[in-house]
């Protein structure tokens, strides 16, 4: 009888322990990705060390070296021309980096933190987002931790990992200073370079390009890409940019599947409409973009869209601003007919436009 009572007590205690563990996992999902002791210390005194994040993410950040033939030489030889970083994204050997790191390279060399030196083959690249995918062949590759549902917020602590000035892997710490920055991604009329960049004060120097921006759990937040340079060439500190993980991952998948990014193209340049101009145009509660220029050979011109038109909706979806409109166009499959509603001299018109492929940036290296 005593033995039965004792066993019953053990079963009850075990069941209670499992129930408490499930409750803790539901309330604190981060326990799934970090040791309990690390989590508990953070809850008590805040983050006192980033060694956990560095240990998880650091091995997956590689050094990238490029070599090129000297053009015009009678006996061309390969010479070192570039330096950057990259991130191992899958155990299949796909490495994500910046396009500008490998843009003019005839040979790409990838150096892992465990000492392995591998050849990097270019799978594809995308000029507007400054991203490129390399393929390396090796086993037991360290892959950077990734969270598909990650949503970076202003104020999040981040670490930038890379190889600045070829001094070796270096980790700098800062916060996300802003999200949705687009200044560096503007590439002219009807541009598709709309990265919605993350701004951070974590140091990003020459050689850091293509490296990882990670959170305190070592999960990838973005791809380090550039530091701010003013038009007056004044030095700036603490203003650096990274391509968000969600965009970088999506572009990577397209490059792996297609070797390039297929984007829709409308063939206009436009501008957001300020409140005063909206009153003059008698838009009322409606929103839209003002067409400043139309490419004469583009799909917009073929469909009858003209300069000074106000585009208000695409396939019944109201246009909020220029970036929203270009995003909708870029994500439309070339060859698709869309219905564009516009305002022209006080009259509302609906035109059918066949979206074409934007091939302006698909140039060969």
Is 88 within 8 Å of 141 (Cβ atoms)?
yes
Active site residue 130: yes
Residue 63 tokens, joined = 């050094």
Strand partners, 351: 340
CA of residue 236 relative to chain centroid, distance: 23
Query: Nearest 5°: phi and psi at 302?
Result: -65, -30
Active site residue 51: no
Is 148 within 8 Å of 162 (Cβ atoms)?
no
Annotated catalytic residue, options 85, 100, 191, 309: 100
Burial class (CB in 10 A: 0-12, 13-18, 19+), 249: middle
d(CA 248, CA 94): 13
CA of residue 292 relative to chain centroid, distance: 29
Active site residue 100: yes
Longest Cα pair distance anywhere in the chain, in angstroms? Answer: 97
**Which residue blocks in 59-127 are alpha helix, DSSP H?**
99-102
Q: What is the DSSP code (8-state) at residue 12? A: H
Annotated catalytic residue, options 177, 185, 209, 313: 209
Strand partners, 354: 337
Annotated catalytic residue, options 85, 126, 130, 191: 130
263 Rama sector, left if φ>0, alpha if ψ -120 to 50, beta otherwise: beta
Residue 38 tokens, joined = 């690390």
The residues carrying an active-site annotation are: 100, 130, 209
């Amino acid at each position: 009888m005593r033995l039965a009572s004792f066993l019953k007590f053990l079963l009850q205690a075990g069941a209670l322990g499992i129930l408490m563990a499930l409750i803790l996992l539901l309330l604190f999902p981060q326990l799934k990705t970090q040791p309990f002791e690390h989590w508990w210390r953070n809850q008590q005194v805040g983050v006192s060390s980033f060694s956990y994040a560095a240990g998880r993410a650091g091995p997956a950040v590689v050094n990238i070296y490029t070599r090129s033939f000297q053009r015009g030489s009678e006996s061309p030889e390969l010479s070192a021309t570039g330096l950057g970083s990259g991130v191992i994204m899958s155990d299949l050997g796909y490495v994500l980096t910046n396009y500008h790191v490998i843009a003019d390279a005839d040979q790409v060399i990838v150096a892992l933190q465990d000492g392995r030196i591998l050849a990097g083959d270019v799978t594809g690249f995308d000029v507007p987002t400054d991203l490129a995918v390399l393929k390396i062949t090796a086993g037991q590759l360290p892959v950077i931790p990734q969270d598909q549902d990650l949503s970076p917020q202003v104020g999040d602590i981040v670490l930038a990992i890379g190889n600045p000035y070829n001094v070796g892997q270096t980790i700098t710490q800062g916060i996300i200073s802003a999200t949705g920055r687009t200044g560096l991604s503007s590439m002219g009329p009807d541009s598709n370079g709309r990265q919605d960049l993350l701004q951070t004060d974590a140091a990003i120097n020459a050689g850091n390009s293509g490296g990882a921006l990670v959170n305190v759990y070592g999960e990838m937040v973005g791809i380090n890409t550039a530091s701010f340079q003013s038009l007056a060439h004044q030095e700036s500190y603490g203003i650096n940019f990274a391509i968000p993980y969600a965009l970088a991952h999506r572009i990577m998948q397209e490059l792996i599947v297609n070797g390039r990014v297929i984007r829709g193209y409308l063939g206009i340049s436009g501008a957001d409409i300020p409140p005063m101009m909206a009153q003059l145009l008698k838009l009322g509660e409606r929103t839209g973009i003002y067409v400043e220029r139309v490419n004469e050979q583009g799909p917009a011109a073929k469909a009858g869209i003209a300069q000074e038109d106000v585009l208000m909706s695409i396939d019944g979806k109201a246009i909020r601003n220029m970036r929203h409109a270009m995003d909708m166009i870029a994500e439309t499959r070339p060859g698709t007919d869309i219905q564009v509603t516009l305002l022209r001299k006080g009259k509302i018109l609906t035109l059918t436009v066949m979206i074409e492929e934007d091939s302006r940036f698909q140039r060969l290296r």
